[in-house]
Amino acid sequence: MRFIARYLKDKKDYFELVSVYEDEIQKEKISKEKPFVKTISFKYPSAIWFERKMQDDFGIKIIDGFDTRELLHHERFPNDTHPMLKDFTKEEIKHSEFKPYKYETIDGDSVFQVSVGPIHAGIIEPGHFHFSQAGERMLHLEVRHFYKHRAIEKMLEGKTLDEAKPIIERISGNETIAYQIALRDIYLQAMDEELPIELQKQHAFLLELERVIHHLTDVGFIPNDAGFGSALAFASKLAEDARRMMQKITNHRFGFGSVGFESLDFDLDEIKFFLDTLQKEIEFFEDWIIDIPSLWDRFDTTGRLDIKKAIKYSCVGVVARASGASVDRRMNPFYIDNGFEMASQISGDVGARFKVRIKEIKNSLLMMRNFLNNKSVKIDLKPLKDGEYISYAESSLGEIFMAIDIKDGLIERFFVRDPSFINWQALHIMMREDIIADFPLINKSCDLSYAGCDL
């Protein structure tokens, strides 16, 4: 049974623990007098970040956890401050005395430590990587993020869905359309409404366009991190063309505010020409890159994640599919009827993740042609019913899980699990047979979001 998420709700008199799996959702009452939760991390290793997050957010204790260090609370965050409690209302948090964070390390003769980040030489959000090294060989990596705690979960409490929408769609710039679609589905459930097929297709078109934009960026950066900058220049031009098409269709380069309940108006002929042109360009690009042996010497066998580990760590998105795990929320009749075919590889290395992205770009272009329509459709919004709602969306990075509780028409609890919150935890497994110079290449081949984790 695939693990998806684990989170807590403050129910005033008790806590409710929610554990989400592929086939079921388990709920458990946790006493506030004895706020203890038994870990599931030995069976599902990626549960450990969820459990550490609950500790920091709510002040509960994890029983038998193999890692109970603070996750969100950095060195000067006060131990007794738990911002997701309902009675937490402070607008400022005073820094506490500095507490050193003990990284996981490997010790031994000639073993040394290398720290990278959290500030990087580029336009990138903060993230820290701590390596244990034996010469050039990576023995162990610990990923540490959460430097920009944005308090989104707390911020959205007490807001309407309409007020929350501009915030939710900006959680992660890689996935703005996907986040809107996840929120759209919660709207529909709360209104007890179905979306007309024309709107389903328009939204699916935008989601695949977003996927194409980010996959094009990745298939340029991956060869670039292996020393072949020409690929980045070529693919970046294609990604920019796609980004400009997103702006033409939605009036925004990232598509903010474009997934709603009224259809968009756009030029079908212009989009068809764009799709035909991009199809030729990506086929040329694929033939070009496949025929450069020096690149594949770097790609093949580098950053391997086998299928057993991918499943054990509950991986999603390209990371999972490149290792042979069939995880994709688009595997449904609507997508299949419009040409969806799951792209997968089995070697689980950089080369496999590159190939999956190329296949997904070409499959997205096929589906986008089938999704094209400019029929004018609008549905009237209804009052939202109180309740507990969940939704999923397959972003370019993988499966988003979203949960929103609505009480008196307002958000009582907002929780989202970005695909990167899962996949970052498997990154260290990919490093153990490679040298530190391959870290940027392996990291980029996974294309993980910092912002999607740092709520």
158-204 per-position pLDDT tens digit = 999 999 999 999 999 999 999 999 999 999 999 999 999 999 999 99
Residue with tokens 């380069």: 253
Closest CA to 178 of 221, 219, 149, 209: 209
What pLDDT band is residue 91 in, cutting at 50, 70 and 90? confident
Closest CA to 207 of 185, 226, 186: 185
Write down the pLDDT at residue 373: 87
**Which helix (H) or strand (E) is 224 found in, with range?**
helix 197-224
Phi, psi of 224 (to 5 degrees): -60, -40
Write down the pLDDT at residue 437: 93
Closest CA to 419 of 318, 282, 324, 331: 318
Q: Identify the weakest region by mean pLDDT among 90-99, 326-335, 401-410.
A: 90-99
Write down the pLDDT at residue 121: 77
Closest CA to 370 of 243, 202, 216: 202
Write down the pLDDT at residue 349: 97
Residue 67 predicted with pLDDT over 80: yes
Domains of the chain: 1-102 (no CATH), 104-148 (no CATH), 158-446 (1.10.645.10)
Beta strands in 32-165 (DSSP E): 36-38, 61-63, 111-116, 128-134, 137-144
Write down the pLDDT at residue 80: 87
Residue 238 predicted with pLDDT over 80: yes
- What residues form DSSP beta bridges with 141? 131
Write down the pLDDT at residue 79: 85
Degrees to nearest 5, angle at CA 158 with 168 and 419 = 30
Residues contacting residue 229 through CB under 8 Å, at least 6 positions apart: none
- What residues form DSSP beta bridges with 30? 15
Joined tokens for residue 262: 């009224």
**Average pLDDT of span 297-318:** 97
What pLDDT band is residue 375 in, cutting at 50, 70 and 90? confident
> Residue 180 CA to chain centroid, in angstroms?
14
Residue 122 predicted with pLDDT over 80: no
Average pLDDT, the chain: 95
Which amino acid belongs to residue 196? P
Joined tokens for residue 330: 């688009």
> Residue 90 CA to chain centroid, in angstroms?
30
What's the pTM?
0.96
**Which helix (H) or strand (E) is 114 found in, with range?**
strand 111-116
Cβ atoms of 212 and 361 closer than 8 Å: yes
What pLDDT band is residue 124 in, cutting at 50, 70 and 90? confident
